[in-house]
Structure 1
Amino acid sequence: MRGAGERIEAVTQRVNERIVTRPRAVVVGFLVITALFAGGIPAIETQTDITEGFTEGLPEQEALDSIDAEFDDSFEADAETTQLIHVGNDVLTREELLASLRVLERVEDRDDLRMESATGPAPIVAQSLDPTAQTAAEQRRAVQRATDSEVRRTVRRLAEDPRFSAVVSDDFNPNQASASASVTVITHEVPPSFSADDLAAIQQTTDQIADDEPGDIRAFGQGVIDNEFQAIIVDSMLIVMPVVVVLLLGFLVVAYRDPIDLALGLFALLMTLIWTFGFLGYSGIPFDQQQIAVPVLLLAVGVDFGIHIINRYREETVQGYDAVPAMRTAANQLAIAFVIVTVTAVFGFGANVTSALDPIRNLGLVSAVGIVFTFFIFGLFLPAAKLEIDRLRERYGVPEFNSSPIASEGSALGRLLSVSATVGQKAPALFVVALLLVGAGFGAYGAGVDTTFEEEDFLPPEEQAWYVEYIPEPFAPGEYTVTETINILSDRFEANQDESITIFVEGPFEEDHALEALAGPNDDPPDSLAVGQGGQADATSIVTVIRSHAERDEEFAALVARNDRDGNGVPDRNLDLIYDELFDSSAGPRAEQYLTEDRRGAQVEYTVAADATQGEVSADGAALADEFRYSATATGQLIIFDAITSVIFASAIQGMVLAVGLTGVFLVITYAVLEGKPMLGVVNVFPILIAVAALIGTMRYLGLPLNALTATILSIAIGIGIAYSVHITARFIDEYNATDDTLRSLQTTLTGTGGALTGSMLTTTLGTGALALAITPVLGDFGFLMAMSVAYSFVASIVALPPALFLWDRVRRAEGSKLAALVGT
Structure 2
Amino acid sequence: MALDYQRVIDWLDDRIVNRPGRIVAVFLVVTAVFAVGATQVSTESGTESFAEDVPEQDALDAVNSEFEPPFGPGTTSTQLIHTGENVLSKQGLTRMLTLQYRLERREDLRIVGTTGPAGIVARTLDPDAATAEEQLRAVERASPNRIDIAVRAAARDNPAFRNLLSKDFNPESARATSSVTVVEHAIPELAPDEQAAGSNPLTPIQREMQSVSASVGGDIRVFGSGIIDAEFGTVIGDTLLIVVPAAAVLIVLFLVVAYRDLADLLLGVVALVMAIVWTFGFMGLVGIPFNQILIAVPPLLLAVGIDFGIHAVNRYREERVQGYGVADSMRTATDQLLVAFFIVTTTSVIGFASNLTSQLLPIRDFGVVASVGIVFTALIFGVFLPAAKVLLDYARQRYPVPTFSQTPLGSEDSSLGRVLTGGVGIARRAPLVFLLLTAAFTAGATGYATGVDTSFSQEQFLPPEETPDYLRALPEPFRPNEYTVTRDINFLEDNFETGEDEQVIIYVEGPMERDIALESIHRAGADPPDTFVVEDRRASEQSIVTVVRSLAATDPEFARLVARNDRDANGVPDRNLDVIYDALFDSEYAALAGQYLTDERRSARVVYSVEADADSAEVTADARTVADRYRYEATATGNIVVFQAISDLIFESAIVSLAVALAGTAVFLVLVYGVLTGRPSLGLANLVPIVVTVATVAATMRLVGISLNAFTATVLAITIGLGIDYSVHVVHRFTDEVEEQDDPIVALERTVTGTGGALTGSVLTTVFGIGVLVLAVFPAIGQFGLLTALSVVYSYLASILILPSVLVVWERFSGAGSRADASDAPAASGEAE
TM-score when scaled to structure 1? 0.93
How many Å separate the matches in 2 of 1:540 and 1:115?
A: 29
The answer as to 2:18 corresponding to 1:21 is yes
The one of 42, 49, 56 equivalent to 2:52 is: 56
Q: 1:217 is paired with a residue of what secondary structure?
A: strand
Deviations 1:709-766 (A, max 9, x none): 1111111100100000100111111212222221111111100110110111111112
Give runs of aligned pairs for residues 396-407 of structure 1, distance below 5 A. Answer: 396-407=399-410
Instruction: Give yes or no for contact 1:77–1:83 (8 Å, CA) kept in 2.
Output: no
Instruction: Give yes or no for contact 1:75–1:166 (8 Å, CA) kept in 2.
Output: no
Per the alignment, residue 483 of structure 2 pairs with 480
Per the alignment, residue 635 of structure 1 pairs with 637
Aligned-partner residue type, residue 740 of structure 2: A
Per the alignment, residue 158 of structure 2 pairs with 161
Give runs of aligned pairs for residues 116-131 of structure 1, distance below 5 A. Answer: 116-131=112-127
The Cα of 1:143 is off from its aligned counterpart by 3.4
How many Å separate the matches in 2 of 1:353 and 1:139?
A: 57
Computed over aligned residues only, the root mean square deviation of the Cα atoms, in angstroms, reads 2.7
Q: 1:425 is paired with a residue of what secondary structure?
A: helix
The answer as to 2:262 corresponding to 1:266 is no
**Which moves more between the two structures, 690-699 or 719-728?**
690-699
How many Å separate the matches in 2 of 1:678 and 1:513?
A: 66
Q: 1:595 is paired with a residue of what secondary structure?
A: coil
How many Å separate the matches in 1 of 2:750 and 2:611?
A: 63
How many Å separate the matches in 2 of 1:491 and 1:712?
A: 32
Deviations 1:141-179 (A, max 9, x none): 343344434433333333232443443333333333333
Instruction: Give yes or no for contact 2:528–2:534 (8 Å, CA) kept in 1.
Output: no
Q: 1:185 is paired with a residue of what secondary structure?
A: strand
How many Å separate the matches in 2 of 1:590 and 1:175?
A: 31
Q: 1:523 is paired with a residue of what secondary structure?
A: coil
Instruction: Give yes or no for contact 2:77–2:224 (8 Å, CA) kept in 1.
Output: yes
Deviations 1:374-400 (A, max 9, x none): 011101111111222223333332342
Per the alignment, residue 434 of structure 1 pairs with 437
What are the ranges of 5 or more consecutive residues in structure 2 without an aligned counterpart? 823-833
How many Å separate the matches in 1 of 2:21 and 2:79?
A: 61
**Which moves more between the two structures, 415-424 or 285-294?**
415-424
Per the alignment, residue 185 of structure 1 pairs with 182
Per the alignment, residue 10 of structure 1 pairs with 7
Per the alignment, residue 115 of structure 1 pairs with 111
The answer as to 2:412 corresponding to 1:409 is yes
How many Å separate the matches in 1 of 2:334 and 2:608?
A: 66
Deviations 1:304-343 (A, max 9, x none): 1010111111111111122222112111221100111111
The answer as to 2:739 corresponding to 1:768 is no
Instruction: Give yes or no for contact 1:503–1:634 (8 Å, CA) kept in 2.
Output: yes
Instruction: Give yes or no for contact 2:300–2:770 (8 Å, CA) kept in 1.
Output: yes
Aligned-partner residue type, residue 284 of structure 2: G
Per the alignment, residue 620 of structure 1 pairs with 622
How many Å separate the matches in 2 of 1:464 and 1:76?
A: 39
**Which moves more between the two structures, 145-154 or 729-738?**
145-154
The answer as to 2:208 corresponding to 1:205 is yes
Aligned-partner residue type, residue 416 of structure 1: V
How many Å separate the matches in 1 of 2:118 and 2:565?
A: 40
Deviations 1:537-574 (A, max 9, x none): 22222343455566667777777677767665545567
The Cα of 1:254 is off from its aligned counterpart by 1.2
The Cα of 1:698 is off from its aligned counterpart by 1.2
Q: 1:179 is paired with a residue of what secondary structure?
A: coil
How many Å separate the matches in 2 of 1:707 and 1:619?
A: 20
The Cα of 1:495 is off from its aligned counterpart by 5.0
How many Å separate the matches in 2 of 1:140 and 1:66?
A: 39
Deviations 1:586-615 (A, max 9, x none): 554444333333444332222223443222
The answer as to 2:608 corresponding to 1:606 is yes
Q: 1:68 is paired with a residue of what secondary structure?
A: helix
Instruction: Give yes or no for contact 2:449–2:701 (8 Å, CA) kept in 1.
Output: yes
Per the alignment, residue 173 of structure 2 pairs with 176
Per the alignment, residue 699 of structure 1 pairs with 701
The one of 501, 504, 508 equivalent to 2:507 is: 504
Per the alignment, residue 823 of structure 1 pairs with none
The Cα of 1:302 is off from its aligned counterpart by 0.4
Q: Could you tell me the percent identity over the aligned residues?
A: 51
How many Å separate the matches in 1 of 2:611 and 2:373?
A: 46
How many Å separate the matches in 2 of 1:520 and 1:487?
A: 37
**Which moves more between the two structures, 498-507 or 714-723?**
498-507
| Residues 156 and 378 of structure 1: CA distance in aligned 2, closer, same or farther (over 3 Å) | same
The Cα of 1:132 is off from its aligned counterpart by 4.7
Aligned-partner residue type, residue 176 of structure 1: S
Q: 2:810 is paired with a residue of what secondary structure?
A: helix
The Cα of 1:805 is off from its aligned counterpart by 1.1
Give runs of aligned pairs for residues 304-319 of structure 1, distance below 5 A. Answer: 304-319=307-322
How many Å separate the matches in 2 of 1:207 and 1:556?
A: 48
The Cα of 1:370 is off from its aligned counterpart by 0.2
Aligned-partner residue type, residue 441 of structure 1: G
Deviations 1:156-204 (A, max 9, x none): 3332324434433333333333333333332323467785343211111
Aligned-partner residue type, residue 634 of structure 2: A
Aligned-partner residue type, residue 638 of structure 1: I
Give runs of aligned pairs for residues 5-404 of structure 1, distance below 5 A. Answer: 6=4, 8-48=5-45, 50-74=46-70, 80-159=76-155, 160-190=157-187, 196-404=199-407
TM-score when scaled to structure 2? 0.92
Instruction: Give yes or no for contact 1:352–1:651 (8 Å, CA) kept in 2.
Output: yes
Per the alignment, residue 735 of structure 2 pairs with 733
How many Å separate the matches in 2 of 1:444 and 1:76?
A: 53
| Residues 739 and 683 of structure 1: CA distance in aligned 2, closer, same or farther (over 3 Å) | same
How many Å separate the matches in 2 of 1:801 and 1:77?
A: 64
The Cα of 1:258 is off from its aligned counterpart by 1.5
Q: 1:528 is paired with a residue of what secondary structure?
A: coil
Q: 2:221 is paired with a residue of what secondary structure?
A: strand
How many Å separate the matches in 1 of 2:595 and 2:819?
A: 82
The Cα of 1:816 is off from its aligned counterpart by 6.4
The one of 651, 654, 660 equivalent to 2:653 is: 651
Q: 2:531 is paired with a residue of what secondary structure?
A: helix
Per the alignment, residue 527 of structure 1 pairs with 530
How many Å separate the matches in 2 of 1:649 and 1:754?
A: 35
Instruction: Give yes or no for contact 2:75–2:186 (8 Å, CA) kept in 1.
Output: no
| Residues 495 and 674 of structure 1: CA distance in aligned 2, closer, same or farther (over 3 Å) | closer
| Residues 130 and 336 of structure 1: CA distance in aligned 2, closer, same or farther (over 3 Å) | same
Instruction: Give yes or no for contact 1:79–1:222 (8 Å, CA) kept in 2.
Output: no
How many Å separate the matches in 2 of 1:76 and 1:301?
A: 54
How many Å separate the matches in 2 of 1:162 and 1:598?
A: 31
How many Å separate the matches in 2 of 1:181 and 1:497?
A: 19
Provide the aligned length of Structure 1 versus Structure 2: 815
| Residues 18 and 600 of structure 1: CA distance in aligned 2, closer, same or farther (over 3 Å) | closer
| Residues 772 and 215 of structure 1: CA distance in aligned 2, closer, same or farther (over 3 Å) | same
**Which moves more between the two structures, 562-571 or 750-759?**
562-571
How many Å separate the matches in 2 of 1:223 and 1:815?
A: 69
Aligned-partner residue type, residue 544 of structure 1: T
Q: 1:40 is paired with a residue of what secondary structure?
A: helix
Aligned-partner residue type, residue 38 of structure 1: A
How many Å separate the matches in 2 of 1:804 and 1:637?
A: 49
Q: 2:607 is paired with a residue of what secondary structure?
A: strand
What are the ranges of 5 or more consecutive residues in structure 1 without an aligned counterpart? 821-825
Per the alignment, residue 808 of structure 2 pairs with 806
Aligned-partner residue type, residue 503 of structure 1: I
Q: 2:500 is paired with a residue of what secondary structure?
A: coil
Q: 1:117 is paired with a residue of what secondary structure?
A: strand
How many Å separate the matches in 1 of 2:706 and 2:72?
A: 32
Q: 1:82 is paired with a residue of what secondary structure?
A: strand
Instruction: Give yes or no for contact 1:503–1:603 (8 Å, CA) kept in 2.
Output: yes
